[in-house]
Amino acid sequence: MPSFLRHTTNSIQHRLSGFTLIELLIVIAVIGILMTAVLSAINPVEQIRKGTDTRKRSDAAEFLTSLERYYTTFNCYPWQMTAAGTCNTVLISSPTQMSTMMGGAPGCGTAACTINELLDKNEIKKEFLARGTNGGFTTQYVTQDAEDLLHVCFVPESKTFQAQAKTRGLQRDGSTGSCTTNFDTPSTQTCHTCLPE
């Protein structure tokens, strides 16, 4: 067999045998670069935080709605309802954390019995409270101003929600003013996301 045919035959067999080690390394490097670019664009940690903040805002809206329904029915808020079934004029003038509103007997006339009163009157479901564990619903703050306007606020975790909170300058009680954000430690920031906006 002539030498040029032998060389051509060997080349054909070599090409049919698969990729070389260098070709495989180049493909793996290109895939690694593309994955790094995609992950940095998506930022999965930020997406998880944004999802958490969206859930907190949904919980805040649901809780605010249940309080307003209660007010529509009984002409006062749960913390104003006494055990005798009458309303007093108690205001939550400073932000009260939801975790402090969980206890007490229904109709006790204090912020501590708000959740039990809502549960007793079927304005909120027990499943809603179960969702609130792990830093969700229980870390929200409620205030009521002199015009009976309620504010439900929480500390946002995602950079997107923190930037919006800083732009609005919302405090824990729903008022506006100077506030600070901290992307690394959300618990130290003073900007909040509040409903109503």
User: Using one digit for the tens of pLDDT, what is the confidence trace for 98-123?
Assistant: 878 877 777 777 888 888 888 888 88
Looking at the domain assignment, is residue 147 inside a domain? yes
Can you tell me the mean pLDDT for 67-94?
Answer: 86
What whole-number distance in Å separates Cα of residue 39 and Cα of residue 162?
22
The amino acid that residue 178 corresponds to is: S
Cβ-count burial 129-153 (b if 16+ within 10 Å, e if not): beebeeebbbebbbbbeeeeebbbb
Looking at the domain assignment, is residue 6 inside a domain? no
Looking at the domain assignment, is residue 20 inside a domain? no
Quote the pTM value. Answer: 0.73
Is the pLDDT confidence value at 19 over 70?
A: yes
What whole-number distance in Å separates Cα of residue 43 and Cα of residue 33?
15
Q: What's the confidence (pLDDT) of residue 133?
A: 54
Report the alpha-carbon angle 99-126-152, nearest 5. 45
Domain that holds residue 93: 45-195
Looking at the domain assignment, is residue 28 inside a domain? no
Question: What burial class does residue 188 get, using C-beta atoms within 10 Å of its C-beta: 0-12 exposed, 13-18 middle, 19+ buried?
Answer: exposed
Is the pLDDT confidence value at 132 over 90?
A: no
Can you tell me the mean pLDDT for 56-80?
Answer: 90
Looking at the domain assignment, is residue 5 inside a domain? no
Q: Give how many domains the chain has, as a whole number.
A: 1
Selected residue with higher pLDDT from 185 and 124: 124
